[in-house]
């Protein structure tokens, strides 16, 4: 009993606050068995994501001031300089998220050259549920909720409305590939960009086929739960094959 208590005291909020690598904290959270330790690690993850978001906003403010100053130095053309600066800053996350193509005007299905992603999506979403489908679905939902718990703006309660702004997809992908993109820059009011970012990153790094189409999803009031469920199953399978998820039973 004494050794257990001594071991638990090794992990403190101060030590966790000194860790600035999301991947390290994610691995610690996966391996932690003690409830109190998991609570502390989740809090540290939330704080780290908040710090990164605040730092990015601060950097944007500095860039904005620089652009404004440049406009003043050029002889009173601040209006044009600031306008261009704002446009470029607003478009920057979209450019990064879709490999150099503005996602608002070029959907994945056109830029990648893949024919009929919507048809593939519809075809994959039609499936006969096995007898234990409810148990499997709940297990997968619980897994998604646990993996995205530290992420701000994500509250997964189902396989439909909880995913409609694309943030949940991004959070789930970011959990396993934290260096792929900056989560703190995501905008919940740009679902198309979020969908494209999540699906393209999952395809590039995890080998997960793009069973869902961003253009189809933004036209829906809420995503079809069967389509989301099928995609998450496929993403989970890819993670298992890459050794990023260790389990005896696959959802």
Overall average pLDDT of the 137-144 stretch: 95
Length, in residues, of the chain: 251
Q: Which fold has domain 133-242?
A: Actin-binding Protein, T-fimbrin; domain 1 (1.10.418)
Phi, psi of 156 (to 5 degrees): -85, 115
Cα–Cα dist 170/115, whole Å = 24
Q: Is 194 exposed, middle or buried, given 0-12, 13-18 or 19+ CB atoms closer than 10 A?
A: buried
Overall average pLDDT of the 187-212 stretch: 96
Q: What is the pLDDT of residues 8-27, one digit of tens each?
A: 447 787 888 888 887 788 77
Q: Is 87 exposed, middle or buried, given 0-12, 13-18 or 19+ CB atoms closer than 10 A?
A: exposed
The predicted structure's pLDDT at residue 33 = 77
Please report, for residues 58, 95, 121, 140, the alpha-carbon distance to residue 148 in angstroms, rounded to integers and kept in the order given.
Answer: 25, 25, 24, 12
Indicate the domain borders of the chain: 15-63, 133-242
Overall average pLDDT of the 190-205 stretch: 97
3-state secondary structure 29-66: HHHCCCHHHHHHHHHHHHHHHHHHHHHHHHHHHHHHHH
R_g of the chain, CA atoms, integer Å: 21
Q: What is the pLDDT of residues 27-81, one digit of tens each?
A: 788 777 787 888 888 888 888 887 776 776 677 667 666 666 665 555 544 343 3
Q: What is the pLDDT of residues 92-135, one digit of tens each?
A: 333 343 344 444 433 444 444 444 444 445 445 655 555 566 78
Does residue 159 surpass a pLDDT of 80? yes
Overall average pLDDT of the 184-210 stretch: 96
The predicted structure's pLDDT at residue 122 = 45
Overall average pLDDT of the 149-171 stretch: 96
Cα–Cα dist 102/156, whole Å = 28
Overall average pLDDT of the 127-153 stretch: 84
Give the pLDDT band (50/70/90) at residue 186. Answer: very high
């Amino acid at each position: 009993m004494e050794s257990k208590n001594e071991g638990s005291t090794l992990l403190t909020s101060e030590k966790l606050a000194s860790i600035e690598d999301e991947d390290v904290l994610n691995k610690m959270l996966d391996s932690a068995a003690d409830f109190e330790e998991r609570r502390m690690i989740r809090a540290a993850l939330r704080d780290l994501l908040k710090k990164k978001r605040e730092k990015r906003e601060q950097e944007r403010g500095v860039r904005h001031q620089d652009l404004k100053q440049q406009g003043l130095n050029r002889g009173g053309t601040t209006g044009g300089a600031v306008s261009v600066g704002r446009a470029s800053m607003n478009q920057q996350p979209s450019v990064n998220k879709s490999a150099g193509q503005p996602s608002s005007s070029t959907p994945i299905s056109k830029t990648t050259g893949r024919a009929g992603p919507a048809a593939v999506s519809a075809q994959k979403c039609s499936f006969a549920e096995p007898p234990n489908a409810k148990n499997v679905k709940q297990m997968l939902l619980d897994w998604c909720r646990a993996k995205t718990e530290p992420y701000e703006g994500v509250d997964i309660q189902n396989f439909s409305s909880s995913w409609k702004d694309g943030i949940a997809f991004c959070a789930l992908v970011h959990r396993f590939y934290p260096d792929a993109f900056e989560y703190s820059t995501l905008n919940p009011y740009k679902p198309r960009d979020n969908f494209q970012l999540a699906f393209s990153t999952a395809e590039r790094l995890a080998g997960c086929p793009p069973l869902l189409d961003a253009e189809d999803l933004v036209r829906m009031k809420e995503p079809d739960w069967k389509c989301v469920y099928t995609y998450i199953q496929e993403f989970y399978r890819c993670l298992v094959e890459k050794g990023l998820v260790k389990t005896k039973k696959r959802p």
